[in-house]
Amino acid sequence: MAPITAQDVKKLREQTGQGMMDCKKALQEAEGDLEKAVELLRKKGGATLANRADRQTAEGRIGYYIHHNNKVGAMVEVNCETDFVANSDDFRQFATDLAMHVCAANPLAVTPDQLDGAVVEKERQFIKEQVLAEGKPEKIADKIVDGKMTKFFQESVLIEQPYVKDDKLTVKDLLEALAAKIGEKVAIRRFARFAVGG
């Protein structure tokens, strides 16, 4: 087996976004085969992601997007664990795509628990009144309301929304795919959407 060079480790690190020591170990385990090392890191990344749930995400970047008409724009703060990942092409692209999504989909909050409780309760009451007005029995009305509230969250909450570039995926699916690929915890911290006259 040929010795693992610093260049090999650097190349694998650029390709996967993993830490230097993880890349070196993967290359050693794969006997210098770059493709096998990538596969090992991907498998490991998926397995260790759950262990990273309580890791701090103090690095990251601001993604931004201005629509071509210059009348709507958005900024999104996306966090990760290391500045190396924050500066990677995959992370940069995710932040930009997310800002574009915010422009198009106009969410109210990042997660359901960030929604104003009064807004959620008002929506629940409105839906319940509609369901009862349709003549549905009281005992099944609550189940119908729960189902319609799920749809409300899918429309109003960023993490639950269908992704504007591919509605078969949610923003959460994209977030989880990025985290698995880079092997770090990724979090959407906040966003701001601006519209002329809005």
Query: What are the pLDDT digits (tens) for 103-148?
Result: 999 999 999 989 999 989 999 999 999 988 888 888 888 889 989 9
Q: Do domains 6-52 and 116-156 have the same CATH topology?
A: no
Please report, in angstroms and rounded to a whole number, the separation of the first and last CA atoms in the chain: 64
Query: What are the pLDDT digits (tens) for 21-42?
Result: 888 888 888 888 888 887 887 7
Domain boundaries, the chain: 6-52, 59-110+157-195, 116-156
Q: For residue 61, which of 20, 91, 106, 100 has the smallest C-alpha distance?
A: 91
Provide CATH code, domain 59-110+157-195: 3.30.479.20
Query: What are the pLDDT digits (tens) for 53-84?
Result: 556 677 999 999 999 999 999 999 999 988 88
Q: How confident is the model at residue 52 (pLDDT cuts 50, 70, 90)?
A: low
**pLDDT (mean) for 2-13:** 80
**Cα angle value 64/152/78 (rounded, 5°):** 25
Provide CATH code, domain 6-52: 1.10.8.10
Tokens (6 digits) for 148: 């319609």
Report the C-alpha gap between 86 and 80 in whole angstroms: 7
- The fold adopted by the segment(s) 116-156 is GTP Cyclohydrolase I; Chain A, domain 1 (1.10.286)
Number of other CB atoms surrounding residue 196 within 10 Å: 9
Q: For residue 41, which of 184, 181, 186, 185 has the smallest C-alpha distance?
A: 181
Q: How confident is the model at residue 17 (pLDDT cuts 50, 70, 90)?
A: low
pLDDT value of position 33? 86
Q: Are the CB atoms for 12 and 183 separated by under 8 Å?
A: no
What is the value of pTM for the model shown? 0.68
